[in-house]
Structure 1
Amino acid sequence: MAKKTVNKSTTKKPNADRLIEWYMAYTLENEQAPKSVYKFAKEHQIEEADFYRFFGSFDGLRNDIWKRFYGNTISVMEASKEYQEFTSREKLLTFFYTLFEVLSANRSYVLFVLNQYEMPLKNLEQLRGLRKKIRSFAKQLVADDNQEKSIKILQKSEMIFAEAVWIQFLFLLKFWANDNSPAFESTDVAIEKSVNTAFDVFDNTPLERIIDFGKFLWKEKMV
């Protein structure tokens, strides 16, 4: 009697993690994003409805990937007992160091999706969810600092600082994408100098760090 062929189709409903894993793998292996949810679902032997249970579109999935990078970053930081005792400056430094470690672990995917479209703004649309989270993180840092300052004039603007941190992230993202140094050491230096500069500006301290940061950017040909 002939041996019955086993159907290798998926028997379990996929979850969001699995869909993201499939999407990232497809993108890297084919050097392009999947063309349609229908074909994507068919390739993985699931129903379209299984995809739409978690994401309304590929745009939603791509957005979620960046939010997960953020989530992983926060989880790693908060696992450290020392983190809660850090100053706001130290927390922001730790945040950027950790976030770019997460991005480096997914560098091939990140570089591809950041250059997927010819129009730069189109590539940045997937960062909308991440932007909200980074700005919220920055606002909390300022709120914590402001609680310790009884004189209102010495308090930082949460909105301005949050937007500054977001712009800082975009600068660091571009810097990291072009960084050819071993283990992205130049990015680590850029993080340290940019964070220190940001806090010095908001704290109205001397401008030596700004000058130092400018020299660094010139050396790295970023200005």
Structure 2
Amino acid sequence: MAKKKPITESKIIELYMDYVLTHNEQPKSVYAFAKDNNFEEQKFYEFFGSFDALEQSIFKVFFDSAHAVLEKSEDYINFDARNKLLSFYYTFFEVLTANRSYVVHALEHNKNQLKSLKTLAKLKQRFSNYIEHLNIKTLDLKQAQLEKLQNRGLKESAWLQLLVTMKFWLDDTSPYFEKTDLFIEKSVRASFDLIDTTPLKSLIDFGKFLYKEKMHSN
């Protein structure tokens, strides 16, 4: 009998992504998946309760990979909130691009309903926590309940912005996804200008960009 290979969480994820991209579907069962890859079924359940839970973890790993890269940068640590978020976006979408075939497989058929997609639940938890600790300057409302509502609204709007960007990236056919980079730069700048209640120039610029893209797609 062949010797069972040491197995880790990251290895299971790697094997799973390879399987779904090769077969265009989930494995038939955890038992079959473990047997095909020469490890004990029990080992799978040490890390994941199901294939659906594994899929949620993949997007969490994408976030963690991007965040780990940023945390190693001294420049990033000294950035203000706006530039930290911009850096996160660029790095996160580099990670997505490196795994585009899998991301397209996981999201393409539901790209218009990303907000309700359970596959992104753990990503949302990670990202919302990230936004909470960015120390984004908001209005001083001087009332605890209102501050709580404002912070919740900030996290939800930031999450929606990330989903919209992911949808744009999924549809982007430009070389090196150059249009997505433009989208990120303009949307993050516009959102911070709105929070800071500064002039609407950036918002208008972003609106022109979206209108231009819509006209070209039609």
TM-score (norm 2): 0.89
For the pair 1:130 / 2:123, whether they are aligned, the reply is yes
Q: Distance in 2 between matches of 1:98 and 1:41?
A: 33
> Residue 92 of structure 1: which of 81, 85, 95 is its match?
85
Change (3 A) 1:184 1:158: same
> Which residue in 2 is equivalent to 1:15?
8
TM-score (norm 1): 0.87
Change (3 A) 1:107 1:10: farther
> Which residue in 1 is equivalent to 2:38?
45
| Aligned length, in residue pairs | 211
Task: State the AA in 2 paired with 1:76.
Answer: V
Does the 8 A contact of 1:73 with 1:98 survive in 2? Answer: yes
Change (3 A) 1:158 1:10: farther
Alpha-carbon shift at residue 153 of structure 1 (Å): 3.9
Change (3 A) 1:188 1:124: same
| Long gaps (5+) in structure 2 | none
Which has the larger Rg? Answer: 1
Task: State the AA in 1 paired with 2:175.
Answer: P
Does the 8 A contact of 2:66 with 2:91 survive in 1? Answer: yes
Change (3 A) 1:10 1:188: farther
Task: State the AA in 1 paired with 2:181.
Answer: D
> Residue 152 of structure 1: which of 133, 140, 151 is its match?
140
Task: State the AA in 2 paired with 1:25.
Answer: D
| Long gaps (5+) in structure 1 | 1-6
Which protein is richer in helix relative to its size? 2
Does the 8 A contact of 1:10 with 1:44 survive in 2? Answer: no
Change (3 A) 1:152 1:117: closer
Alpha-carbon shift at residue 211 of structure 1 (Å): 1.0
Change (3 A) 1:102 1:218: same
Q: Distance in 2 between matches of 1:84 and 1:140?
A: 13
Task: State the AA in 1 paired with 2:155.
Answer: A
Name which of structure 1's ranges 108-117 and 72-81 shifts more when overlaid on structure 2. Answer: 108-117
Identity of aligned residues (%): 45
Change (3 A) 1:140 1:119: closer
